[in-house]
Amino acid sequence: MSEDDVRPVCRNRRARFQYEILETLEAGLVLTGSEVKSMRGGNANLGDAYARIGRDGQAWLVGAHIDVYTAANRFNHEPTRERKLLLQRREIVRLGGKLRERGLTLVPLQMYFRNGWAKVELGLARGKRTHDKRQSIARRESDRRLRAATKRRARRR
């Protein structure tokens, strides 16, 4: 194993399409035992999730879905409960100030295990307009065509 062992659990693929990511940061997750077991099995989804700074001065992950762990029986967890994010106080204060700006939100990009600890990568994001999304699609299509053309050209040689 490497010094920095990272095992991805799930990614929010729509986030980079729907938002312009201005900055990323890593936060720890406070989880129950059954949530950790379920995440290790890859049963998590960040589709509708977002992060917020609560009135209590804590950061929370809202809307993330971690499936119930079947072997946990009555000690299971609520799949979509709010989960506390572990950030340093100065990071929370700085993010709180930026989130008060118009149009900024905190979007989870991926969940993973780093050296055995559950982490989430958060992105400070601004929502893309429709024309920005069209530009992203056009750029992706042109890159795909370019790769296909170079692959065909390489085969001819």
Instruction: Kindly report the CATH number assigned to the domain that includes residue 116.
Output: 2.40.280.10
pLDDT, tens digit, 9 for 90 and up, residues 13-40: 888 888 889 999 999 999 999 999 999 9
Q: What are phi and psi of 138, to 5 degrees?
A: -60, -40
Asked if the model's pLDDT at residue 1 lies above 50, the reply is: no
Residue 103 belongs to some domain of the structure: yes
Residue 148 belongs to some domain of the structure: no
Residue 60 belongs to some domain of the structure: yes
**C-alpha torsion angle, residues 135, 129, 26, 8 (rounded to 10):** -50
Beta-bridge partner residues of 124: 23, 106
115: left (phi over 0), alpha (psi -120 to 50) or beta: left
Residue 31 belongs to some domain of the structure: yes
Total number of domains in the chain: 1
Q: What are phi and psi of 74, to 5 degrees?
A: -75, -15
pLDDT, tens digit, 9 for 90 and up, residues 61-113: 999 999 999 888 888 888 899 999 999 999 999 999 998 877 799 999 999 99
Residue 52 belongs to some domain of the structure: yes
